[in-house]
Chain A
Amino acid sequence: DAEITQSPRHKITETGRQVTLACHQTWNHNNMFWYRQDLGHGLRLIHYSYGVHDTNKGEVSDGYSVSRSNTEDLPLTLESAASSQTSVYFCASSRSGYEQYFGPGTRLTVT
């Protein structure tokens, strides 16, 4: 069955370290998204991509970067992790229309 996976599921890192969160989908969707979820804020869009080599900034993109070298993967990189980036991160994909399929999430703690 087609699916979307995220790794790692849990990560603890130190302030200042570079961290990369992986997202892989097997639906062959063109559109992929990264969100963070914090109490009281719901899901906020970090970056998104409409296809290979296309990336766009979302609402809360400072301190994050993405690259899209193939259809299946959209890794999210925290260049220099900060405590304010402690959150749950969700990756999502969609073919067209407005239904997005979400991964299981990565719980990141920055100490």
Chain B
Amino acid sequence: QKEVEQDPGPLSVPEGAIVSLNCTYSNSAFQYFMWYRQYSRKGPELLMYTYSSGNKEDGRFTAQVDKSSKYISLFIRDSQPSDSATYLCAMSVSGGYNKLIFGAGTRLAVHP
């Protein structure tokens, strides 16, 4: 079993929809949770970063962490065609010296 599980999709939604992307994990020591966005044939870039449990909002994006369920989510409101990309969750233990464990990535397509 992988440490981090993520449904690869693809997920196809109409413009304006609310998108929910999720990851589950097995290592209870993970404290840092990130979402990276990767456009086709590009390197990933950090989108959201959360420490421990709770919510974090940045514009149309909200990241949620539920450590009791070992479950994290990324919500995208009012999705746009420019949001079409692969979204990778990533996690790290406290003091893990920046070593990240990535999910497989979910491919999202937002169509006009």
A42 and B105 form a contact (CB under 8 A): yes
Q: Is the CB of A43 within 8 A of B102?
A: yes
Which residues does chain B contribute within 8 Å of A50, judged by CB atoms?
Answer: 97
* Interface membership of A94, Cβ < 8 A: yes
On chain B, which size bracket covers the interface?
Answer: 20 to 34
Interface string of A70-107 (1 = CB under 8 A from B): 00000000000000000000101010111111111100
Q: How many A-B residue pairs have CB under 8 A?
A: 54
**Chain A interface, >50% SS class:** strand
Is A45 interfacial (CB-CB < 8 Å)?
Answer: yes
Whether A41 and B98, one on each chain, are in contact in the complex, defined by CB atoms closer than 8 angstroms, is: no
Task: Report if A34 contacts B (CB, 8 A).
Answer: no
Using a CB–CB cutoff of 8 Å, the interface residues on chain A facing chain B are 31, 33, 35, 40-45, 48, 50, 58, 90, 92, 94, 96-105
Residues of B near any A CB (own CB < 8 A):
4, 6, 8, 32, 34, 41-46, 49, 88, 90, 92, 97-100, 102-105
